[in-house]
């Protein structure tokens, strides 16, 4: 197989939705990087279900509604965003384009939106937020213990990140890649040596999970910052209720894009019960499976305050850098606006309940 095609400096013609970027992205990435981006865990059943589940939510047209002057603006944790589409934290973005996370940050800012930067970013936190020219969100992974976690949190705060998204659902990651030279998680310190296990001990329970966070660690983390704190990776309503009871400002309903536990339910299927469990005490965001503006609408209609998109914006990044990412956001927003117009919703708050299950 030949070398990947060069990145584009313009938007390809004829792209009508984010999926239109798929062939352009594939031919511009090495096969192993493309597989890493595409794959989920196990038999890919959760990955595939994430997308299919949206097809089962019908939309009800509401003609004759006067939607002149309508908009998609939301206010989230004190920041006004032009739309409810947030770029999810994806690792090692220099795998997909030399400008990496900085390109995504610039695109999010250009579209008056928001990017959540991964702990596993391939550029420094400071470099990314400088490129954005605005405050960003930071996705925090637990760093084996409290002191190392606090050090990373404090670095993000010092760099002017304004919300913390604590990801808790991936203590064991099954989607992995051998990183090319020069690409690594530049913001993380080298972890301590993995502790030796006794013959009767389990690699999973006494190894990986011994370094994973628990509820007591979440309560401790809440005490370490006054910034908005969201917990990402919640699918059970009892867990959602406990998150807000511990004083967190919200949560992200997510199955990690189908990359962790194959067979987990879809985020969308879990959303209504979690919205009910939170009962207005915190913000509820939805991640995993969003592929178009109708999907965004359906998530909002089932109670989400905003959505996170992942793979689709990386398709744009891999094709045309910041231009591609910005175009993907714009396509999603345009389709959201068209869906709102056809269902008679003049703003985001009017969308809730506008579906028929």
pLDDT at 209: 67
pLDDT at 100: 98
DSSP conformation class of 253: E
Decide: residue 189, CB within 10 A, 0-12 exposed, 13-18 middle, 19+ buried. Answer: exposed
pLDDT at 202: 78
Annotation says 56 is catalytic: no
- Digit-by-digit pLDDT tens for the chain (357 residues) are 578 999 999 999 999 999 999 999 999 999 999 999 988 777 788 888 888 999 999 999 999 999 999 999 999 999 999 999 999 999 999 999 999 999 999 999 999 999 999 999 999 999 999 999 999 999 999 998 999 999 999 999 999 999 999 999 876 555 578 899 999 999 998 876 667 777 777 777 766 666 789 999 999 999 999 999 999 999 999 999 999 999 999 999 999 888 888 889 999 999 999 999 999 999 999 999 999 999 999 999 999 999 999 999 999 999 999 999 999 999 999 999 999 999 999 999 999 866 654
Task: Name the catalytic one among 83, 97, 99, 256.
Answer: 256
Q: Which of 137, 127, 51 lies closest to 87 in space, CA to CA?
A: 137
pLDDT at 44: 80
Contacts of 154 (CB under 8 A, 6+ apart): none
The pTM for the full model equals: 0.95
Return the CATH class of domain 79-171+211-357. alpha beta
Distance CA 163, CA 281 (A): 17
Distance CA 343, CA 60 (A): 6
Show me where the domains of the chain are located: 79-171+211-357
DSSP conformation class of 115: E
């Amino acid at each position: 197989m030949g070398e990947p095609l060069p990145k584009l400096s313009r938007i390809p013609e004829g792209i009508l939705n984010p999926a239109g970027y798929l062939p352009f992205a594939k031919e511009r990435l090495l096969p192993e990087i493309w597989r890493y981006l595409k794959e989920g865990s196990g038999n890919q059943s959760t990955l595939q279900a994430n997308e299919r589940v949206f097809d089962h939510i019908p939309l009800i047209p509401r003609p004759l509604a006067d939607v002149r002057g309508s908009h998609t603006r939301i206010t989230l944790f004190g920041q006004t965003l032009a739309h409810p589409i947030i770029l999810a934290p994806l690792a090692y973005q220099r795998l997909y384009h030399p400008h990496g996370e900085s390109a995504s940050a610039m695109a999010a800012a250009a579209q008056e939106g928001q990017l959540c930067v991964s702990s596993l970013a391939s550029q420094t936190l400071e470099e990314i937020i400088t490129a954005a020219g605005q405050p960003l969100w930071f996705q925090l992974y637990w760093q084996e213990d409290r002191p190392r976690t606090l050090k990373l949190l404090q670095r993000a705060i010092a760099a002017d990140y304004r919300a913390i998204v604590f990801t808790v659902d991936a203590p064991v990651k099954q989607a992995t890649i051998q990183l090319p030279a020069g690409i690594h998680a530049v913001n993380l310190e080298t972890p301590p040596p993995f502790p030796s296990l006794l013959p009767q001990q389990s690699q999973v329970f006494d190894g990986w999970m011994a370094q994973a966070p628990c509820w007591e660690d979440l309560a401790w983390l809440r005490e370490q910052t006054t910034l908005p704190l969201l917990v990402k990776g919640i699918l059970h309503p009892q867990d959602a209720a406990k998150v807000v009871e511990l004083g967190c400002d919200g949560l992200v309903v997510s199955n990690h894009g189908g990359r962790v536990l194959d067979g987990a339910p879809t985020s969308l299927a879990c959303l209504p019960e979690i919205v009910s469990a939170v009962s207005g005490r915190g913000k509820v965001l939805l991640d995993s499976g969003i592929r178009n503006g109708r999907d965004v609408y359906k998530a909002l209609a089932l109670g989400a305050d905003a959505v996170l998109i992942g793979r689709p914006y990386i398709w744009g990044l891999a094709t045309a850098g910041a231009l591609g990412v910005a175009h993907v956001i714009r396509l999603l927003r345009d389709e959201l606006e068209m869906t709102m117009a056809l269902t008679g919703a003049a703003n985001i708050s009017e969308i809730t309940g506008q579906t028929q299950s």
